[in-house]
Amino acid sequence: MPSNKSVSDAAITQFINCRILRDHRLQRDDLWVREGKVLDPEKLFFDEKGYADKLVDCEGSIIAPGFIDVQINGGYGIDFSQASDDVSSGVSFVAKKILQHGVTSFCPTLVTSPPAVYHKVLPQIKVSDGGEHGAGVLGFHLEGPFISVEKKGAHPEQFLRTFQSGGIEDLMEAYGGLDNIAMVTLAPELGGSQSVVKELCQRGITVSLGHSVANLSQAEEAVHHGASFITHLFNAMLPFHHRDPGIVGLLTSDQVPAGRTVYYGMIADGIHTNPAALRIAHRAHPSGLVLVTDAITAMGLPPGRHTLGQQVIEIQGLHAYVAGCSVEEALEAASLHPAKLLGISHKKGNLDYGSDADLVLLDDALNVEATFISGEEVWRKGP
């Protein structure tokens, strides 16, 4: 006769009085967690004890998957593109601070820098799980230096590079290696870029198109070679034109291979992107929207002069908004979509059974009330 003893004797946490984001809608249900994973409650019928060891009353709050930020350059006085002998302490400091914003995983982002900076910074940070110490690190996002001079934006022109060797050797020379790199932003019109896109994707590194004057056919070619993201849509690229929509045209292109999705990052601050532009993009391609902060060292600090890589910039004000989509769509754009983009949606970005119990509790205005990683509370709003 089979035993009904639990497969695991680990403690079970039950979140009650919740509205859980699951299957693209908010559902009134309880959430069960064991050993850092979302648990199928039906399995508890075969559990010897049949009850939770700990109850968390959400008091009607929304429970969504923890947010994933794939483009964050720093914050709270820390600039990830500044080389030092202790880069890890700065990354850890930001990782701890962003818990209050519901971020449970992120990609530290470096803007265009000289090789010496990459060689100094990159070896110091490894992919790591999150916890009470801070949000998990999913790997670096390297935004540059293989981008367009015409669309360099805030990137220093003197450190921009082209693909001289026509292959991966240029990346190795610039970066020093490709370990712990999750994403690279490049301009697909640069000579030799298409072979680089293919090579990076074969290595499991996400390729994003941005800071570019590429036309639509060049962007489509990059997608055929594996590119799957657009860095801050509308910013630092050719404006939409009816005869050649450029990179923006990927949102509705019929040349995207079947079964593939091209995602696009949006900085929803009302400054980088007008709300009307965000609504146009979302209505054209809702399943591709990925909300990013593109935060810099000034995040969490008063307006003034702050660094961005090798430059000093003036910050005059900070804003944020989400417009043109439902609550569920906005939350998925900050969780499920970036997880799919990075190929980690089997464990993050959703609350499916077996997924990591990285959670954010929010009120109806989407203010963060508490953040959990692996089912453990890592931040809670004060009284």
d(CA 75, CA 296): 5
Closest CA to 308 of 121, 112, 148: 112
Instruction: Please tell me whether residue 347 adopts helix, strand or coil conformation.
Output: coil
3-state SS track over 2-34: CCCCCCCCCCEEEEEEEEEEECCEEEEEEEEEE
Instruction: Please tell me whether residue 371 adopts helix, strand or coil conformation.
Output: strand
143 belongs to an annotated ligand binding site: yes
d(CA 93, CA 306): 17
Q: Which of 47, 69, 294, 356 is catalytic?
A: 294
Q: Give how far Cα 113 sits from Cα of 55, 179, 206, 213, 268, Å.
A: 48, 18, 20, 20, 26
Half-sphere CA count of 111, side-chain side, radius 13 A: 22
Q: Give how far Cα 366 sits from Cα of 29, 78, 156, 322, 344, Å.
A: 19, 26, 36, 10, 24
d(CA 375, CA 305): 39
358 flagged as catalytic: no
Q: Contact, 359 vs 63, CB < 8 A? A: yes
| Residue reference for tokens 């720093």 | 74
Closest CA to 269 of 225, 209, 305, 316: 316
Residue type, 46: F
d(CA 165, CA 192): 8
**DSSP output for 277-319:** HHHHHHHH-GGGEEEE--B-TTTTS-SEEEEETTEEEEE----
d(CA 161, CA 143): 12
Binding residues: 143, 211, 232
Residues with a catalytic annotation lie at 294
Binding residues for Zn(2+): 143, 211, 232
